[in-house]
Structure 1
Amino acid sequence: MDIFVEGKVRVDGQIIPPPDKSISHRSIMIGSIAEGTTVVRKFLFADDCLRTVDCFRKMGVEIEFKDQDTVIVKGKGLRGLKKPETELYAGNSGTTMRLLLGILAGQNFEAVLTGDESLSKRPMKRVVQPLRMMGAKIEGKDDGNYAPLIVRGGQLKGISYSLPVASAQVKSALLFAGLYADGETVIYEKPKTRDHTEIMLKHFGANVVMGDGFVKITPAEKLSASQITVPGDISSAAFFMVAAAINEGSQLLIRDVGINPTRTGIIDILKQMGCDIKIMDERIWGGEKVADILIKGGRLRGITIEREIVPRLIDEIPIIAVACTFAEGQSVVKDAKELRVKESDRIKAIVYNLRNLGAEVEELEDGFVITGGKPLKPAELDSFNDHRIAMAMAVAAISIDGRSKIKNADCVAISFPNFFQMLKSVCKQI
């Protein structure tokens, strides 16, 4: 479905962003292998997370949608999952497929994991290879690099493993497998990636040690059911943060946002660009930091993004690119080659769309260079069926005088089903 977006606007009001996608996935996964009934409040009812729910239902877990934001998971324990009678279909969700590989590696049955056309092109060897080192038997296209993947669970052994690519998904899969392994599993990472899995596993009673540059897990006898309240997703909030930041005269309050330090690169970067942004009323929900964020619009300046900060804002780079387009001076994003193997080749998608808007953009192998502050024009934009590209281009479009078109914009349902309604609610036509 194509969407037409009108600019130019001021962004004003307050919102609560949708629940965190990463935490919602993990609440279902860990709740399913815990003993007892887990209650998840403020769950994200988006396509990706519903794929995770469907996979665990196929393995015998009773998962009930109690109301519009609460999910009840009746856990089966670490070894209570059943062999699925059909393929486990992850749709477009890389989180579902990669994390589930770690859980399936410890089961005593065979399962087949599949995904849609996009997911079937995303690399899985980064997870498959270390799981094989632990003793898992995994087969697939190109020696297990692409789905469909056949997983034959069995006896695992703990390993010490240094992540060659900064990836919370790989780390999480190995932590899950470590629950079933003989001996301890130690994962070394630099820079640190998002740690939602470690936090939640500890919340459910797992033996997890988080150190400087490493995470260690030892086998668990059991996990105990718990209650989870999912914070607002900072990756979703980021679109509204930038929408307010680049439109002068805007003021937006975003409530109940997760501010886990491994995810707040977007806040650090906007501050460095000169954005007036305040973090208020910090508190803790189930081990996760939560706060309200107030943003005021104004002039921004160019920025360089590289090295250690990239994993802390990898999902936010499409919308950061939009901020850079409206900022004065040159912005450089590099060391972000991982963007090429997301739901789309996000580097190409960003460059294509910003050039359509009239921006001056140079494509790099691992990022791009944007010369900001140039006059922009409305245009026909392409989501490339990537939810984050669609939302980023919508924010660009509301900030330009005129009417733009975004092709296949309904892909926002992957993470933010009511994105366009929420965006419209805070846009005040100038």
Structure 2
Amino acid sequence: MSGHGPAIPMTSRPCGPLKGEAHVPGDKSISHRSLILGALSVGETRIEGLLEGDDVLATAEAMRAFGAEVEHLGPGEWRVNGVGVGGFAEPEDVIDCGNAGTGVRLIMGCMATTGITATFTGDASLRSRPMGRVTDPIALFGAASYGRDGGRLPMSVVGAADPVPVRYTVPMPSAQVKSAVLLAGLNAPGQTVVIEQEATRDHTERMLAGFGAEITVEDTDEGRVITLTGQPELKPQDIVVPRDPSSAAFPVCAALIVPGSDVLVPNIGLNPTRAGLFDTLRDMGANLTYENLREEGGEPVADLRARYSPDMHGIEVPPARAASMIDEYPILSVVAANATGQTVMRGVKELRVKESDRIEAMASGLRANGVNVEDGDDWWIVTGMGAGKVPGGGTAVSHLDHRIAMSFLCLGMAAQNPVSVDDGGPIATSFPIFEPLMTGLGAQLVRANR
């Protein structure tokens, strides 16, 4: 079982050119935060373009459980009538966050400074992931957490009835941890300060400001210092969610490695804390261009055009870029397998504790398809075979990880032989239209149970 129903084995066959427009779903990070901040506002927030994948739907259901009115109006259109900062009610039942690591960590943060108790669980993948990175800092506010050995779900969080503001240095580059602390700080008196030594995606800071919170960001010798004044009255917003760069990565990268391809991916958010993959691909010699650059809702946006790029070469990816592309290393390794020379990826220990151990999952799957991979604790190296030279023919284990499954299905589009994944079911957590979108461009994806 996948945790999303029965396993769905899938096979990707070598295909002809990918052509057309790929309209990917809304940004997952912004979708989660739109629902949460809408629930913490006083009044009605309207959201357009919300990603309606399983992860985000779990967050919507969680906000209902805490007392907010959350209504689905139509495809991508939602209404949230919030309860205000500190207004969460105690849930009557366990909060099931499915596969959503972002959702559960952010929700733990925003209820940690309210005097209520909530119990969280998730699917098998989420129950294996560490929560201590969030429960440790929210304890500084006065919250208490009780979970399984190793700080794993199921877990009950007892919120602080009399929270205190904190000053916290994030020990690892993690937007989830930073955001959880900032959300906890909303209902603490005085100023909560978060310091990150490496900048991570800044959607939370941008959106808090947009909802009316008093928040400042300053680059200092100590790091990036974010100061939030607690107990504001957040003002409801009308939000148009840009399309997800992490989802755009799959049609973009597939087009780069499938001969003759030319794919346009419209309306992609290019927040500099999220665009590291596209910078890296261009460094490798990819024919990837930005068209119609503009700004929407405070976020830079462009249409991406990706064309087949047979002359890409391996590079050493700057470790400082890791935080801006941490979710894209799996699909980058697929591109690296089709480039020439070695692609070296360092400073990526965070990949070991994602939905799966993504270094191990990708290394094993690439080796099963004839690609040479070396890996260590926080690094891995893919030796490229050149355009069209990946043998394929293997089966990769997805480990309940949507990005692993999608990456190997993209590999199969350009390999010499079909590539299979043991379970494509988890793809629905973040990219529910992946299969029809890619087949609409020309991919040949087959479900084994059809």
Task: Classify the TM-score, shorter chain.
Answer: over 0.9
- Secondary structure at the residue paired with 2:370? coil
Shift of the 62–428 alpha-carbon distance from structure 1 to 2, 3 Å rule, reads: closer
Residue by residue over 1:247-284, the C-alpha shift from the partner in whole angstroms, topping out at 9 and shown as x without a partner, is 23221111010111100001110010001111121222
Q: Aligned-pair distance for 1:420? A: 1.2
Question: For residues 179 and 80 of structure 1, what CA distance do their matches in structure 2 show?
Answer: 11
| Structure 1 partner of 2:448 | none
User: Which runs of structure 2 are paired with 1:157-196 in the superposition (5 Å)?
Assistant: 157-196=164-203
1:28 counterpart = 2:35: yes
Question: For residues 254 and 232 of structure 2, what CA distance do their matches in structure 1 show?
Answer: 48
Question: For residues 428 and 314 of structure 1, what CA distance do their matches in structure 2 show?
Answer: 26
- Secondary structure at the residue paired with 2:26? coil
User: Which runs of structure 2 are paired with 1:4-403 in the superposition (5 Å)?
Assistant: 4-142=11-149, 145-153=151-159, 154-212=161-219, 213-298=224-309, 299-373=311-385, 375=389, 376-403=391-418
- Asked if the contact 1:36–1:225 (Cα under 8 Å) also holds between the matched residues in 2, the reply is yes
Question: For residues 367 and 294 of structure 1, what CA distance do their matches in structure 2 show?
Answer: 30
Question: For residues 105 and 381 of structure 1, what CA distance do their matches in structure 2 show?
Answer: 39
- Asked if the contact 2:252–2:306 (Cα under 8 Å) also holds between the matched residues in 1, the reply is yes
Question: For residues 6 and 21 of structure 1, what CA distance do their matches in structure 2 show?
Answer: 28
- Secondary structure at the residue paired with 2:25? coil
Question: For residues 410 and 400 of structure 1, what CA distance do their matches in structure 2 show?
Answer: 22
Question: For residues 377 and 4 of structure 1, what CA distance do their matches in structure 2 show?
Answer: 11
- Asked if the contact 2:88–2:111 (Cα under 8 Å) also holds between the matched residues in 1, the reply is no
Residue type at the aligned position of 1:147: L
Residue type at the aligned position of 2:255: A
- Secondary structure at the residue paired with 1:217? strand
- Asked if the contact 1:8–1:402 (Cα under 8 Å) also holds between the matched residues in 2, the reply is no
Q: Aligned-pair distance for 1:10? A: 1.6
- Asked if the contact 1:7–1:399 (Cα under 8 Å) also holds between the matched residues in 2, the reply is yes
| Structure 1 partner of 2:442 | 427
Residue type at the aligned position of 2:438: L
Question: For residues 20 and 311 of structure 1, what CA distance do their matches in structure 2 show?
Answer: 17
Question: For residues 419 and 392 of structure 2, what CA distance do their matches in structure 1 show?
Answer: 9
Q: TM-score, normalised by structure 1?
A: 0.97
Question: For residues 330 and 2 of structure 1, what CA distance do their matches in structure 2 show?
Answer: 31
Question: For residues 385 and 232 of structure 2, what CA distance do their matches in structure 1 show?
Answer: 58
- Secondary structure at the residue paired with 1:372? strand
Question: For residues 323 and 396 of structure 1, what CA distance do their matches in structure 2 show?
Answer: 8
Q: Aligned-pair distance for 1:194? A: 0.3
Q: Aligned-pair distance for 1:82? A: 1.1
Q: Aligned-pair distance for 1:403? A: 2.6
Structure 1 residues not aligned, in runs of 5+: none
Residue type at the aligned position of 1:95: T
- Asked if the contact 2:269–2:301 (Cα under 8 Å) also holds between the matched residues in 1, the reply is yes
- Asked if the contact 1:276–1:296 (Cα under 8 Å) also holds between the matched residues in 2, the reply is yes
Q: Aligned-pair distance for 1:73? A: 0.5
Question: For residues 220 and 80 of structure 1, what CA distance do their matches in structure 2 show?
Answer: 11
Question: For residues 421 and 32 of structure 2, what CA distance do their matches in structure 1 show?
Answer: 28
Residue type at the aligned position of 2:424: A
Q: Aligned-pair distance for 1:306? A: 4.2
Residue type at the aligned position of 1:185: T
Q: Aligned-pair distance for 1:325? A: 0.3
Q: Aligned-pair distance for 1:361? A: 1.1
The percentage of counterpart residues that share the same residue type is 38
Residue by residue over 1:285-321, the C-alpha shift from the partner in whole angstroms, topping out at 9 and shown as x without a partner, is 2222211111111121001124211111000000000
- Asked if the contact 1:246–1:300 (Cα under 8 Å) also holds between the matched residues in 2, the reply is no
Question: For residues 105 and 385 of structure 1, what CA distance do their matches in structure 2 show?
Answer: 29
Please say which of residues 296-305 and 397-406 is displaced more in the overlay: 397-406
- Secondary structure at the residue paired with 2:109? helix
2:426 is aligned, of 400, 403, 411, to 411
Alignment RMSD, CA only? Answer: 1.4
Q: Aligned-pair distance for 1:332? A: 1.0
